[in-house]
Amino acid sequence: MMMEEERRQIVETGKLLYDRKLVQMSGGNISIIDRKTGLVAIKPSGALYIHMEPEDIIIVDMDGNIVEGSRKPSIETFMHLGIYKSRPEIKAVVHCHPVHAVAWSLKHNHLPSVIAAQWALKGAVKVAPYEGAGTHALADSAVKAIGEDGYGCILQAHGVICGSPNDVFHACEMCYTIEDACQIAEICESTPGSEMFTIDRQLGEEGGYDGLEKLQRYAAEP
């Protein structure tokens, strides 16, 4: 069986996503790339996280052709491949459907830096304009929103997708960070009073954040 360790990690990550309520039943998808072979291990379409086993994972090439596996790969395979093609340093991609992030995307075009943990995502996170699930247009929208140096975005009326230069567990953690930040921002917006504080504004980067080193230093302050 090809990419056995990657298969095991995908199954483990799926259970983490399910336990943290970032996905429901079979929604969302996870992948890991082997940069040496150009092969990608990805969750099969419709697989329930609570029952998924390593042998269920599908291996595809960079064109989406099945190399190993008897099931259909995720409907969002091309979104994963688009990120891998545009960002050679990315090693794993996680896509999930967290409630607060989806709610935030219906009224906003980006998520400002409201928690220090967003330094891992390089601060503010863009909302990718809505496109149909499983389409090349959605893949293009996600790749554009993540950009040349970001690590995640919110898909409007859909979910969150993150790519990690480290591993699949880090990609999972970044998805949770976005959901956490969206929930906090929602609470602040619903509370009467002064304007919501953002780290972007505090550091003089209104409407976005490009200074990763500044944000890292800010996160490290006592």
State both tokens at 187: 């609470």
Q: What is the pTM of this model?
A: 0.90
Active site residue 76: yes
- pLDDT band at 206; cut points 50, 70, 90: very low
Catalytic residue among 76, 173, 179, 205: 76
CATH for the stretch 4-220: 3.40.225.10
Query: What are the residue boundaries of the structural domains of the chain, listed by start?
Result: 4-220
% of the chain beyond a pLDDT of 70: 90
Task: Check residue 202 and give its pLDDT.
Answer: 65
Q: Are the beta carbons of 92 and 170 closer than 8 angstroms?
A: yes
pLDDT tens sequence across 8-60: 999 999 999 999 999 999 999 999 999 999 999 999 999 999 999 999 999 99
Task: Check residue 208 and give its pLDDT.
Answer: 45
Give the Cα-Cα-Cα angle 194, 208, 83 (nearest 5 degrees).
135
pLDDT tens sequence across 70-86: 999 999 999 999 999 99
CA dihedral angle for residue 162, residue 164, residue 169, residue 174, rounded to 10 degrees: -40
- pLDDT band at 119; cut points 50, 70, 90: confident
